């Protein structure tokens, strides 16, 4: 038959096709930062995302990777090497290796040493998955197999969990609940999940037999960011590189912040300020609720609004002369922070917003949520920032963003609008906001968060550190709670113990509902006032230490408030411990969190000291501790350099005297003490001073070097170095030194 090949010729042709096919039809394609490969109906991409993170992307609709997301901070990824070991193909960097097997549709993750962190796991497949609002939609299920024999342990998924170790992802967005599609596991890696729509984040569930975790992605494309991280320190640093590092907050925000719903009038405000000052109770900010800008709350305002409702103005009952008043309060060291709601109440303004399509569609929400702003619209953010111009002229130092749970991305875009307003009106001023929840990436805008409207109860106090530690591990280094509780009346004992715990929270803020007694210390009796004043004074002494830790967070992503498992990962007794915690590496708080003056305190393996004591305590033991109402069990780890400032009425009075440098011996030590003007963004351009203290334990010698150009009035010029050494008579040796230049002092052979 014409054109028909002989059997031999056909066989030869087939062999040639088999031989040359790989040269012309490679199963994978190289991309800018990795490779792309077709696996069944899915397009799979392996890419390097940051210097510490890979991205595994699985798409069933051909969308390009990576998906755009507000969670992510733009980073320049390193180069990678394509590696092949048929049927596997993958990418390799200095921090690990990510491989895929197109034949059996599995993938795996290894660390830099080649150790398998995630065993061969199935690639995702289409499924029906739950959304944030518990509605099922088409999506992708992506399983992650667990290393055989290891427990299914994860950290860092946000809060609303009873412990540090979490067993499921949050799927409910609400009052004080942070839903974070992220976790770290002691298996040596962390994960951030990104979906097609940031408003519908991924969630996960663990298998009943602890053999796997399955991520549930709404949509047809799933991005999984994978960070080899052997420790929690490595995890928070990698997460910071991926989602953005937090700026340094203004110094005043580390002081005591008095919040309240129910400031009655101008006289009420000024009387409260007078009481703080006359009683010598330090305070740095009053935080105002509805009453600062409107005469009545907007909860009952109808969907169409009220013709005379004021959204961007001042309530003359409290602020008849806002500029003059706020300047007067600032001269007394008091900063102004004001609540904002994500909605509008004025009828004409609402008509304008609806015409532009700038309101959220929230038919299932409350009546007031029908007036919520759609902050994801860029033009709306510009409009909102413009409405804030006149307000910011009156020295507003920060915003309190409340009830922004109408959309998952509200707080992020809301902060972007406020950042824009600050850039227009106060271009060198650091933005500070406190928000009722957070999302990945919000920390890089200058945001803090608080855990929402909680009850005044011992149970709420006991839960607060767990929530804040979970937030620390989930990327929010500046967490707070309503000290004393928001709902119901608190008691003198409960408020006092909560204030004492708050000394060791990243943000120390008391708050209460308008029908409750204000959480002013002098309203709860003499003993409570004395104890609370003592606690707040300790807070102010610790500000030089906390502020330096804020620079560490800014540079590395490491939170200020840390669970003990970060420092002692091999100690099973601290794996789930959250009623005592570290600030930095060496200061351990163990406040009273129950209605008693006793508690047990676990000292991990090392040598410890009570704060301000020179008596060493051996670790690997549990102490039964008694603490009077004005006492807080606080411990310092051997090998700690602790900078303390004098007690001042407010941070405007800092430094206020010499820096006290407490040295707790037992190991060599170092600490980076940082100073700047405390308010502006000029530190980003190098306007700060870094003093690097080092302690040689064998030689009993303290040395320091100074770097940086800041030389303003906030600088400590003198230092009193205190060696907490039980072998030296009274146990303390004090040396004075100047801090204007590098130097050293020796404690060897010196007495008291």
The answer to whether 563 and 575 are in contact (CB under 8 A) is: no
Length of the chain: 752
What pLDDT is stored for residue 486 in this prediction? 97
What pLDDT is stored for residue 277 in this prediction? 98
What pLDDT is stored for residue 158 in this prediction? 83
Residue in this structure with the two tokens 């509200």, named with its chain if needed: 410
Q: What percent of the chain has pLDDT over 90?
A: 85
What pLDDT is stored for residue 150 in this prediction? 87
**pLDDT bucket at 410, cuts 50 / 70 / 90:** very high
DSSP state, 427?
T
The reply to whether 6 falls in a domain is no
Same-domain status, 235 and 260: no
Give me the torsion for CA of 468, 473, 476, 481, rounded to 10°.
0
Token pair for residue 151?
A: 């427990």
What pLDDT is stored for residue 752 in this prediction? 45
Q: Is the peptide bond before 555 cis (omega within 30 degrees of 0)?
A: no
Same-domain status, 237 and 256: no
Q: Is the pLDDT confidence value at 1 over 70?
A: no
pLDDT tens column, 218-273: 999 999 999 999 999 999 999 999 999 999 999 999 999 999 999 999 999 999 99
Structural domain range at position 315: 251-562
Token pair for residue 640?
A: 């700690």
Strand (E) positions, 146-236? 182-185, 189-194, 203-206, 212-218, 221-228
What pLDDT is stored for residue 9 in this prediction? 45
What pLDDT is stored for residue 22 in this prediction? 40
Q: Is the pLDDT confidence value at 730 over 80?
A: no
CA angle 582, 588, 593 (to 5 degrees): 95
Q: Is the pLDDT confidence value at 384 over 50?
A: yes
Q: Where are the alpha helices (DSSP H) in 206-359?
A: 232-243, 266-278, 322-331, 347-356
CA distance 502 to 517: 19
In order of 7, 61, 64, 124, the CA distances from 45 in angstroms are 41, 13, 9, 13
Q: What is the CATH number of the domain that holds 709?
A: 2.60.40.1180
What distance, in Å, lies between the first and last C-alpha atoms of the chain?
113
The reply to whether 751 falls in a domain is no
**pLDDT bucket at 26, cuts 50 / 70 / 90:** low
pLDDT tens column, 613-635: 999 999 999 999 999 999 999 99
Residue in this structure with the two tokens 């907490």, named with its chain if needed: 724
Question: What residues form DSSP beta bridges with 183?
Answer: 191
DSSP state, 320?
S
CB-based contacts of 324: which residues, under 8 Å, 6+ apart? none
The answer to whether 187 and 206 are in contact (CB under 8 A) is: no
Across residues 731-740, what is the average pLDDT?
A: 86
Q: Is the pLDDT confidence value at 24 over 60?
A: no
The answer to whether 261 and 294 are in contact (CB under 8 A) is: no
What pLDDT is stored for residue 160 in this prediction? 72
What pLDDT is stored for residue 617 in this prediction? 97
| Least confident range of 2-11, 77-86, 375-384 | 2-11
Residue in this structure with the two tokens 């006092």, named with its chain if needed: 496
The reply to whether 568 falls in a domain is no
The reply to whether 576 falls in a domain is no
Q: What are phi and psi of 584, to 5 degrees?
A: 70, -155
Task: With residue 556 as reference, give the H or E element that holds it.
Answer: helix 526-556
Describe the crossing of helices 378-387 and 347-356 by its angle, rounded to 10 degrees. Answer: 160
What pLDDT is stored for residue 209 in this prediction? 87
What pLDDT is stored for residue 64 in this prediction? 64
What pLDDT is stored for residue 365 in this prediction? 61
What pLDDT is stored for residue 729 in this prediction? 52
DSSP state, 342?
S
**pLDDT bucket at 288, cuts 50 / 70 / 90:** very high
Classified as helix, coil or strand, 45 is: strand
Pick from 532, 562, 592: which residue ends a domain? 562
pLDDT tens column, 470-479: 999 999 999 9
What pLDDT is stored for residue 5 in this prediction? 43
**Chain-centre distance of CA 472, in angstroms?**
5
| Dihedral of alpha carbons 12, 13, 18, 22, sign | positive
The answer to whether 58 and 221 are in contact (CB under 8 A) is: yes
b or e along 198-232 (b: 16 or more beta carbons within 10 Å of the residue's beta carbon)?
A: bbbbbbbbbeeeeebbbbbbbbbbbbbbbbbbbeb
Same-domain status, 65 and 103: yes
Q: What is the CATH number of the domain that holds 69?
A: 2.60.40.1760
Q: Is the pLDDT confidence value at 112 over 80?
A: yes
SS (H, E, C) 55-82: EEEEECCCCCCCCCCCCCCCCCCCCCEE
Same-domain status, 231 and 256: no
Across residues 191-211, what is the average pLDDT?
A: 93
Q: What is the CATH number of the domain that holds 408?
A: 3.20.20.80
Q: Is the pLDDT confidence value at 726 over 90?
A: no
pLDDT tens column, 144-187: 999 988 888 999 998 777 899 988 777 777 899 998 999 999 99
The reply to whether 13 falls in a domain is no
Q: Where are the alpha helices (DSSP H) in 146-218?
A: none
Domain count, the chain: 3
Q: Is the pLDDT confidence value at 363 over 80?
A: no
Classified as helix, coil or strand, 240 is: helix
Give the neighbor-by-neighbor strand order of the sheet with 396-401.
Answer: 479-480, 447-450, 433-435, 396-401, 335-340, 285-288, 256-260, 508-510
The reply to whether 174 falls in a domain is yes
**Beta 125-130 vs 136-145: how paired, if at all?**
antiparallel
- What mean pLDDT value characterizes the chain? 93
**Chain-centre distance of CA 343, in angstroms?**
25
Same-domain status, 598 and 734: yes
The answer to whether 576 and 164 are in contact (CB under 8 A) is: yes
The reply to whether 117 falls in a domain is yes
Describe the crossing of helices 232-243 and 458-473 by its angle, rounded to 10 degrees. Answer: 70
Q: What is the DSSP string of 464-490?
A: HHHHHHHHHHTT---EE--BT-SBS--
Token pair for residue 55?
A: 């991205």
Same-domain status, 368 and 489: yes
The reply to whether 16 falls in a domain is no
Same-domain status, 391 and 326: yes
Same-domain status, 180 and 50: yes
The answer to whether 136 and 127 are in contact (CB under 8 A) is: no
In order of 333, 351, 477, 555, the CA distances from 237 in angstroms are 35, 46, 12, 9
Same-domain status, 664 and 729: yes
Same-domain status, 68 and 131: yes
Q: Is the pLDDT confidence value at 680 over 80?
A: yes
The answer to whether 368 and 343 are in contact (CB under 8 A) is: yes
Across residues 484-510, what is the average pLDDT?
A: 98
b or e along 639-658 (b: 16 or more beta carbons within 10 Å of the residue's beta carbon)?
A: bbbbbbbbbbbbbbebbeeb
Task: With residue 546 as reference, give the H or E element that holds it.
Answer: helix 526-556
What pLDDT is stored for residue 604 in this prediction? 98
Token pair for residue 498?
A: 């909560």
Q: What are phi and psi of 722, to 5 degrees?
A: -115, 120
Q: What are phi and psi of 448, to 5 degrees?
A: -110, 170
Same-domain status, 296 and 399: yes
Q: What percent of the chain has pLDDT over 70?
A: 95
Q: Is the pLDDT confidence value at 107 over 70?
A: yes
pLDDT tens column, 649-673: 999 999 999 999 999 999 999 999 9
As to burial, measured by CB atoms within 10 angstroms (0-12 exposed, 13-18 middle, 19+ buried), residue 702 is buried
What pLDDT is stored for residue 10 in this prediction? 43
Across residues 733-750, what is the average pLDDT?
A: 87
Q: What is the DSSP string of 213-233?
A: EEEEEESSEEEEEEEE-SSHH
Same-domain status, 478 and 624: no
């Amino acid at each position: 038959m014409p054109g028909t090949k002989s059997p031999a010729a056909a066989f030869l042709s087939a062999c040639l096709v088999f031989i040359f096919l790989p040269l012309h039809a490679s199963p994978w394609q190289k991309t800018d930062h990795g490779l792309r490969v077709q696996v069944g109906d899915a397009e799979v991409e392996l890419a390097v995302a940051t210097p510490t993170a890979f991205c595994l992307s699985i798409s069933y609709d051909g969308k390009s990777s990576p998906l755009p997301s507000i969670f992510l901070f733009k980073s320049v990824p390193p180069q990678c090497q394509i590696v092949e070991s048929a049927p596997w193909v993958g990418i390799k960097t200095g921090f690990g290796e990510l491989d895929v097997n197109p034949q059996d549709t599995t993938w795996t993750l290894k660390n830099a040493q080649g150790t398998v962190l995630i065993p061969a796991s199935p690639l995702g497949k289409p499924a029906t998955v739950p959304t944030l609002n518990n509605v099922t939609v088409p999506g992708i299920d992506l399983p992650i197999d667990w290393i055989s024999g290891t427990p299914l342990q994860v950290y860092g998924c946000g809060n609303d969990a009873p412990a540090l170790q979490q067993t499921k992802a949050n799927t409910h967005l609400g009052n004080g609940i942070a839903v974070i599609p992220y976790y770290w596991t002691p298996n040596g890696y962390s994960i951030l999940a990104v979906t097609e729509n940031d408003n519908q984040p991924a969630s996960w569930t663990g298998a009943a037999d602890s053999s796997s975790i399955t991520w549930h992605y709404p949509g047809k494309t799933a991005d999984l960011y994978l960070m080899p991280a052997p420790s929690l320190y490595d995890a928070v640093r990698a997460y910071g590189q991926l989602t953005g590092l937090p700026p340094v907050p203004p110094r005043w925000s580390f002081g005591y912040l008095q919040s309240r719903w129910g400031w009655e009038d101008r006289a009420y405000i000024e009387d409260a300020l007078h009481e703080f000052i006359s009683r010598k109770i330090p305070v740095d900010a009053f935080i105002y609720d509805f009453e600062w800008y409107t005469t009545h709350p907007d909860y009952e305002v109808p969907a169409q609004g009220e013709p005379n409702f004021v959204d961007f103005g001042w309530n003359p009952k409290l602020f008849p002369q806002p500029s003059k008043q706020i300047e007067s309060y600032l001269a007394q060291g008091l900063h102004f922070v004001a609540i904002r709601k994500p909605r509008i109440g004025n009828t004409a303004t609402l008509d304008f917003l609806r015409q532009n399509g700038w309101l959220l569609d929230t038919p299932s929400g409350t009546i007031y949520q029908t007036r919520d702003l759609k902050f994801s619209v860029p033009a709306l953010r510009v409009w909102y920032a413009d409405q804030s111009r006149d307000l910011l002229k009156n020295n507003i130092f920060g915003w309190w963003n409340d009830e922004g749970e109408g959309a998952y991305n509200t707080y992020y875009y809301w902060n972007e609008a406020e950042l824009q307003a600050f850039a227009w009106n106060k271009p060198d001023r650091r933005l500070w906001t406190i928000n009722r929840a957070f999302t990945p990436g919000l920390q890089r805008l200058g945001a803090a968060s608080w855990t929402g409207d909680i009850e005044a109860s011992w149970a709420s106090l006991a839960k607060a550190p767990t929530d804040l530690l979970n937030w620390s591990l989930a990327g929010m280094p500046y967490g707070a709670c309503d000290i004393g509780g928001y709902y119901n009346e608190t008691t003198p004992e409960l408020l006092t113990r909560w204030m004492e715990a708050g000394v060791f929270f990243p943000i120390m803020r008391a708050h209460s509902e308008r029908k409750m007694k204000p959480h002013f210390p002098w309203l709860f009796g003499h003993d409570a006032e004395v104890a609370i004043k003592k606690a707040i004074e300790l807070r102010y002494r610790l500000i030089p230490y906390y502020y330096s830790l804020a620079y560490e967070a800014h540079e590395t992503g490491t939170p200020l408030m840390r669970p003990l498992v970060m420092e002692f990962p091999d100690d099973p007794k601290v794996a789930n411990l959250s009623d005592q915690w570290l600030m930095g590496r060496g200061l351990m708080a163990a406040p009273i969190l129950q209605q008693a003056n006793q508690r047990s305190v676990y000292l991990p393996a090392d040598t410890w000291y009570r704060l301000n004591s020179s008596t060493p305590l051996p670790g690997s033991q549990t102490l039964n501790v008694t603490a009077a109402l004005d006492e807080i069990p606080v411990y310092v780890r051997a090998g700690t350099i602790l900078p303390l400032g004098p007690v001042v009425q407010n941070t405007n009075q800092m430094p206020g005297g010499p820096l006290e440098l407490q040295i707790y011996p037992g190991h060599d030590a170092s600490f980076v003490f940082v100073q700047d003007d405390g308010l502006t963004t000029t530190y980003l351009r190098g306007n700060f001073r870094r003093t690097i203290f080092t302690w040689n334990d064998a030689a009993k010698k303290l040395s320091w070097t100074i770097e940086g150009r800041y030389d303003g009035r906030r600088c400590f010029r003198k230092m009193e170095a205190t060696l907490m050494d039980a072998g030296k008579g009274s146990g303390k040796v004090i040396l004075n030194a100047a801090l204007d230049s590098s130097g050293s002092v020796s404690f060897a052979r010196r007495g008291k």
